[in-house]
Every structure is written in structure tokens, then in C-alpha cells.
Structure 1
């Protein structure tokens, strides 16, 4: 009796519910829901142009499930383009209702007591409307007193498997909301499937993933407006959002559909936009991406093809799992070497049926049979394929070898051309230098440019028997010139790295330094890399050997040294030519070494270094400290600052010197080597200071090329450096 009463109460409640729904349901001709309006299973809400309608739709007649869908009523015969409740199916289809309540909540209700909330406003409002637009977009809007509207929610923000013009694929940078398509699980099952179509804003391309695994890429698409598979599209990228959108230029709208197999098709043109269903994990054809190796039992070119077949039931195995879609069945069959085909198990498109045979025995391919995806083996002959690859590899190798030979030939010719140019330039420079020297030597008494053949004849081809000694920058030979005059022929070492310009400038300097008390320069010779100086032959030693030689028994006393300093200063005093540039390191002024600037004061600097060398009997570059290298300039400056300048004097002089003259020479030498050329004295002032102690009024400042050190040790290396200029100033027979 109690059960009977309960049944009657439930029946009354059910009919009351249906009556209430029917009374307040919207008119089918209306395209808008107002607060308090509903849409039940017997009604539909259509756009103004009647192109799209929203309604409750039972996709699989064999299953009592209902979905709220938007359907395209065009030539596709009510094709579903949007689903509201993909994973929240309504069991009792007769009691389903879409409600926009008076507080602004848009939801789906049924008599099972479960509400599916599509939108709930944080602040309840009764001035909202839900409209189905002509584009197929179901929009919930808020009405404002000034007559404007703002969008609260829209179906285009939650696409399913279909992309309509106006829908976006991409990302909202402000909300991080993503727009993407997700395939159905099966042909008649709208639940979320295996494939997703997304927009990659960084690489600007469309991609398809299968259960999160990248399997297809479109490649980079053109900026802004473009065309792809007969479909116009546009790309938008800014600080708010980045997305891809298809556009339509006519009344018959284009739409893309992502199928449960992984294909993307254009419903308007019925052509394929993307074929992710042909991506097997190993191939890279037509946008496919590689994610796994080819199974050992499969060959390149093997593929599943849809065929109708009559097959014995004993060749089938079943997997009755409703969470498996078509692509899952294909993946299982592809990796199972005994599987030859598959199809769906349930009519909705889920579950799997697999075929297994050793041959086609028991199977009859004919129309009217069951639709299976049959694995079709690649019939291309493996041997032929092998020879094709061998041929391709051979051709590639041959092309690489040819390209390598061409590159080598080109480089060789380029080097030969460059060498030829260098030789021509060098020859022109040699000819120019020789001509210049010949012109200059016309103004110099008894100076000439000798031919190289004359030098070879004079020295008997540089015979060791004619070797007089080894100078700092090369050997010196005794020779007989064509005139019969004896000469000392200095063959500069090729390791000196002295160029033509430096050699020419040094020659001019030596010419200017000619002195009655010094050995005379007769001329020079330039031939290819050879640099040769020809001096007057003197039986006595050079100033270089007297000052710096290993055996210094015949040393120069202070009187002779002072006379040499005075004599050189009086030759320099009358010089007005400033074009001679000292090319010898150690005597080079800082303005010339650093900036290439030369003046009379540059000669003063070189003269100052020479004074310090004559006083000390040491070369400028002969000092070395284990903690810090130092030169003669630095050592002289340190002794001057310490108040003991006479310690610079050559120890062999003993007491045979005038302390005031020595100190005066050191003082003058330090004034000559100051950093700034303007601070150095003139040669006429130097001559005056040498002869008159009272003429020295300035104190020396820190010299050029001086680096302070912590500790000094008076020592020289086993092999002292030599300088060219000092070597060329040789003593006469009067010494």
C-alpha cells in the first residue's frame, strides 16, 4: 500500500514538472532566453537566420543519453557543431531542460536532481539574456541601463570538435584560457576523444596531439591573412591574446571538423586539412611527427585502409571497453604483430574488435560486409628500395666530393691570386724604395744603392771565410767592392722583421748621424727579403763592442765617451729634416710607437736613450728582474729619484771621470726621454747644457715606457738583446 502511494506521488510529481516546463518554455521562433525562460526537449532555439538551432539531441538512438547541442541545419543535415555536456550525459532525456533563472544562472536541469552549470554570475543579476547568434555562437549577455551589452559567457569560448568562422584556436594571455578542438570519442559518442587541434603561437603553426603526444604539425603559417586548403584564415598576436581563426567570404560558411580518427576535414569542400590518422609514430610525411620507432613486424608504407569484409567469427577478438576510441584500437593493432585489422565494438564508436589471420583465408572482401580497417602491407619490393637508397647515397657522396674539390680549387686559385698580388705589390714597393734611396743618396757624398750581384761578388757569396763577426741583427762580412774599396757588409737577419719603410727610415737616420769620428755608411742593398748595409771597413771594433761586448779590455774612458756625446749632439743641432723615423725598438719615441707621429723631438728622445747607454755601458733592453722586467730608462729614473744617479755609471770607469759631467749627462738624458714631446729640450739647448752646467734649469719628470716595480736586481740575461742604431755608431781608428 505504501509502495502504491509512493508510485502515485512520483507520477504526480513527474507530470507537474512537465506541465511547469511546458508552461514557461520559449517559443520555437524566438532566438533568445530571458530571465525565467526555459528550453525543454520538445523545443529548439534557432538563430534569426535559422542556420543554427540549439536543442536537446539524442545522438545514438540505441542509448538513452541526451546532450544539449547546437546543430547546423544547412546541407549537413543537422550536423552537431557544439555540445554543452560532453562528459555529463543526461540519462532521462524527457526531463532535461535549459534554464536561465532570474539570478542570471545558465544551467541544464533534469528530474534526477543534477544541475549542469554553464555559467553562474558572482553577482546575481536579472537583466541577462541568452541568444543564439547567426554565427552559431550561443551568447549570455548582461544588459546595462545605457542600452549596451557585455558578454558574460559564450559557447565559442568552449569549442568541441568543430571550428566555425569566428571561433579561436589559441590562448588568452590575461586569463590563460586555451581555445582548442577535441575530437569525439566515437562516431556517435560526444565524450572527449584522443585528438586535440591546437594553435602554437610561438612557432605560428597548427598542431594535433594524440593523448598529449604531438603527432602532426602544419608548419609555420604566414602572418595575418592567408589561405590553407581552400580556407581563408587570419592570425592575431598581441599582448592580450594569440590565436588562429578561419574566415568566410560567402554565405555558405566554412567549418573544420576534427574527427575521432585524427583527420581534420573541411565540411564545405569535403577535403582533408590534416591527416593525423596517417601518422604512425615513425613517419614524417605531410606534417607527421616522429615519436617512436617502427615496430619490427611493420614496414614503411604499411597502413590501415577502410574495407568491407565478410570474416569468420573465430578470427575475431573483442575489447569491450567504452573508454577506447577508434584511434586507441588502431594503436593496439599496430603494435600487435598478429593483428591484421580492427573496427569499433559498440555502435557509438567505442570498444574494439580485432582481426587475426595468417593469410586472407576465412575473409571475403566484398561490399555489404562489415567495415574494418585492414592493415595493407607495403608491396614495394625491398630489394628495389635498397638499391634506390644505395643510389641516392652514392649520388650524395659524389656531389659532396665534387663540391669539396671545387672548394679546394677555388681556394687554391684565390691564394695563388693573392700571392701574385702580394708579390707584385712587394716588387713595386722595392722598386719605389730603391728609386727613393737613389734620389736621396744623390745629396749624400759617396752613398749609393748597390746591386745584389755586386754584394754576392764582393763577399764571395757570403763565404764563412769573409765573416767578421755576428752583430745583434745579423752577420758582418768583409768584402771588396767593384771599385776595389774594402767594406764591412752587414746582412740584416730576416728574423728582425724589419719592413721596407722601417729600413728606409733607419737608413735616413744613419745618414743624418754621419760623423767624422764615426765609421761611415757607404750605401745599402735591397733584394727580395734581403736588407744589407755597406760600411767603410775599419780594423778597429765598433762602439757597440767597446760598450757592450763580452770582452771589454779596451774600454772607452769617460773623456772619449763625453766627446762622442758632444759630437753627436752638434751634428743633430743643425738638422731640420723631420721625415726620418727611427725604426729600432728601444730608441722609438712614445708618440711614434703609439700614434705614428714623428718630429724633431722624436730624435731628441732617441738621443736621450743613447746618452744613458754610453754612460752605463748597458743596452736599454738589457735588464731583467725575476719579479718584473725593467729597462735602462726605468733603472736610471729610479736611481735619480733615490738621489744616487752616479750608480748608473759603467763600473769599468772606476775613478777616471768627472762626477759633474756624468751627472749632467744623466740629467740631460732623462730630460730627453720625457713622455711628452713638448717637455723635451731642443738639440741646440742640449748642446748648451752639455757645455754649460748652469744652462740646466729643469728637473726631469717620469720618463716614457717606465713601469714601476717592487724589487730590482742588477742582472742580465745570458743572451743580451742588441739594437741596430747603436751598432751602427762605430768608433774610428783614433779610439
Structure 2
């Protein structure tokens, strides 16, 4: 259990033998010396090797100075605390040997998940090698009494202690082997025998069954979750994960109960939710792919013991775990009757209303859109002429854009052929098209029968048609044909920023001058939306995939389907339906549904830090130099004067240290926890354009973007997407 971390102790090996030894500080003063079986210090310090194996230094008054249990190597002995501080994302960790006879640092590490404290992880270098799944504090024991104590959560640190129960005479320990196996070993009288080993052989290594696959622990083979099939299309055992047999439709989906499952990784952890509230949260959110409700009643915690886990996007590292697992509620397409475990309280009248009300709403909305884009009152001419109509919604000026025939769009996109797809998202696909006059366009084809798709369509028609700024994408026209809803934009050949920024092979094409130009262009576009347009517009989903690049790599903000208009003296608004992408959402919006222009400022700050570093906000901590997340990394390096370490290696030969320092400073101002502390975008533009503009000192953030989502008000109904999965994500136009 001894390791580095005690630099003042010299000749430590003498303690274990019969030779006396002394330890001195840098000024030559004796701190302690060995005398028989006890070590005494010059200032009253004592070093003791305790019965359990913990080597401690303490003062004569029993105040502990240092203990080896805080600096473990590869072994956990009785009374050792396995802890993680999920507020600052730190954890004690084990370090495996390099080889069976080589005690130097190996490639495997083990600790609690520093983000939640609810899982134990084994890492191989910087990649996950094995994951325990949600540990609910249950005793891990055998008939002889080997166990972990009850888990304690004090609101900041979560820990459990390894004990041997009543079998104190039985020797045991946990060991992280040099080959990555975590083992519980007992002494047989002649040798150490493994009683428990993970991941061992088979498919228990992290993510070995791919997305939507799971490891069957009994047969030790990979299988697909119900409703999925192997992605490679061959056989019953997936080799590259699994894909859905039928695509989700949101409103027509149902949830299937999968019992005895080890929960997948990358869950969103929601506190203070009942089972019914957890179910309702996932049902309402079309991006929610699964949820689980785990009773962590054995955790001594500051909050309630019940926990709601929600997944968006792919499910990774699942396992059929038998009695050790729990129920996983999986979203599937189709109109099958809901699982009784998911929904057995709906009355017949409730079901009728649940079906009838959305249908009525859709019909009324379609009539409104028909009047907007098809009906021809005085002043409107269709086909290939300008479409003019009196004010829509909050706009007080005529809309001016083309209404294009459906047949012309179908011809331009080769009947919406898959080879023309530029990207896809929660509301449909985007196709490249070439009109009859040779003009290239991007066509957004909204999903049929989607309530949100209708809202998205109306939002973009009403908003973007009148926005004129070089850093905003242009809407050229629209089309409604039967149940088809299409939006036609200018085509930008370089597609979206994320396709360059996060692609190792292409990121070098974005040198620092281009990146700095993109940062300033996006800032000017947001300032126009917030301040210079006829009405104040909040984008609500600013992220790299919604920043399109023209031929000269100039940025254009796109995707206004989630945008909102502020009128008059409105400063902020609240909503019960939170939409957007976690990581880019401001804390007050994600947790309370409150949004304002400062919500966009927060998203811009995240985007700015991503552009400087070349890393995603959702990057695992090992990719951000072992910091808990990108914000934590930026803050610490900026505070320590090491901003060069934050810069993407791809721009090392072209960056300006002054410009980079300014950008990181501005980014940290934008991601401050308090919305009132964040600058307006007009101030951001001034700070980026001029060195003379003063910059306030940012306050240290709480790194909300990395922390799993937690609601602060149990009465608020929030509809969410998480971990970079957006309701409006469109790859590129």
C-alpha cells in the first residue's frame, strides 16, 4: 500500500527491517527516527504500521499527518475507503504493476467514477477497460463475511469501506492485477486464491458488444437488445454493435421492460424523482432512448435514496446480470401495448385524451401553416415569384422568399436519394439539391407527422426569412405539399464546423487565423440576433454542428427551429419544455427552464473553448489532460498561466498567444454560473475586436457542463436531450 507521496521520509526500507533510520527535512531537522517497533519524530511525530496494513504518521496527540491508504498502489486492504469527490471530480485510485515481477507503474488504473461516485471503473491508459455498473451499496460478500460497508454520500464525497465482517481471522484483499483484472483474493494457507475476478474472459470488457449490444454473462457472448439486430447484418452475434429494426417515431413509440440488466454507461443522473416522474420525463423527451429507476436505499445520503437514470443516444456497455441487475426501460418504435411496469395507471379516458389532443393540435397547426404558405390572399403570389404576406406572429414586416414546387425539389434532390443526404437530426434529414437554374441548395425535409417538426417549420419560416446578416444562414424558400414540409437554404460546401474541428484528419485545415475569424463571426451573428435585428431572438441550440462554413470558411449560424422571440421589455422567459443539447445549455436553463440572451452567451463560451482546444465539451476527462472536463481544464490552465497547454496542437504553428489568452478569458467570462455575471454579446464582440476593451476577472465555474443533469425543482417538468444529442442536430447542409 506504500507509494510515492511522502517525500520527507528517507531510507523507508529500514523501517521494515531491523536497522534504525532517521528522516530529516530540507533544513536538516530530524522529523522522526525508528526505535525498535515504533518510529518517533523529532517534533513528537510517530510512524506506525497498523494491524490492517495501513502505514501512518501521526503526532503524539494522535493527529494523523499521512497514511498509506491515501496513496494505494495495486492493493486494497481491510478498512480502506474507496472514495470519489463528485463536486470537484477527484477520486482515490489504484495503480497496477507493470508486470508480475515489476512493481513500477503499469497501464491499468481503478477508481470510483469521479463524476457520480456510483460506479467503479478500470482504465487502460486513458480508455475505459471495465465498469462495475451502478453500485447501490449492497454488500459484496460470501458466506465467510467478506464485504464492503454501506456507501456514504455526504453531498460532496461518496465512499465505501472494505471490511472482512466477522471473519477477522480470514485474510483477504482486493488486487488490481497487472493484466487489468480486479480480484478479491483470500489466503488458503498456502497461496492467494481469487474469489472474484472482473472483467475476466468473455465479453465483459467495456463496450465489447458495441452500441445497443449487451453481454450475456451466462453464455459469455454478445447479443442485441430486443428490437435491434446486428449492425453488420450477419448472424445472431453482433460484431459491430446493433441497429434498430424500426426507426423511432416519438409519439408512436412504446417502452419495453428489460429485467436483470446492468445499466448502460453514459446515463444522465436525475435526483429527487419518483418512478412516475422519471417515466414521464423520458416519455415526453423524443431523444430519450431508455430510462431506469434504481432504489439506492442502502446509501446514506444527504438527498433522497431514489434515483432516476436517463439515456439519450446509444446504449453502451450493457450486460445481462441476473439478480445483480435491474429493470431497464427501452424505447422502441411501434404501437405495441406499453409494458405494465412502465404504464399501468392510465384510464381509458386518459388514453383517449392523450391520443385525441395531439391529433387536434396537429390538424389546427396544419390549417395555420396552410394559410401561411398555401392560401393566396391579396398580396401573395406563388410558384416562382416572391411570396409576400402581412406580418406573421411577432414580425411586423412582410416575408419575402420563394415558394418552390414539390416536384422541383424532388427533381433537384434526385427524389430525395440517400446519396444526396448531407445530415440528419431529430426533425428530419437535410439533402443537397441542384435547382433547374443550376443553383445548389440545401433542403431540410421535416419528418412526417411530427408535432415538433411542425413547430420547427413554423419557427424557421417566421424567424429566419427576415434575418439578414452575413453570419446567419439564408432561407431561400419553403414548400408544403400534402404532408411534406420542406425548407430550402443556401448551400454551404464546407458543411458544419464540427466536421473540421473534431476530425483529426481535417482539423489542421482550420489554422488559428481561420478559427479566430470563426469565433468573431459567430459572436457578431449572435449580437445581431440579440440586439440589432428588429426583435430580440434567442437561438437556444448554438453548437459546432449548427455553425456552417462557406467557401472561405466564414461562419453562418443555422438551425433556428428552437429559437424564441423576445418582445418589448422582456429580459428572460421560462419553459417547461427544455430543448437543446446538454453541455451547451446554461445551468439555469437546463435545471430551471429559464432562458435569456445570456443562455446563448453561455453556449457561445462553450463553443469558443472548443474551437481553441479542438476538444468537445463531452470529451472524456483523459482527453482534457486528466481534468474533469473542458471547462475545468480551461479554468485551471488559465489560472496557472499555462494557456499554451490548452491550445489545439493542430494550430501550434499559427496561433497568437495574445489572441488565445484573450479568447480563453472571454470564454470563461461567458460560462460563469450566474447569468448576470456573463457579458452581453455586444461586449464580447468588443473584447474580441479590441485589446483596449477591459475584461473583468471571471469567477471559477462549477463545471456544470460535465456534471450529470440534476433537477433543482421537483415540480418542474423538463424535456431534455443529453450528452451532445440534440433535438435539432443536423450534420451539415
Provide the TM-score with structure 2 as the length reference: 0.36
Say which one has the larger Rg: 1
Higher relative contact order (CA 8 A, sep 6+): 2
Give the structure with the larger helix fraction. Answer: 1
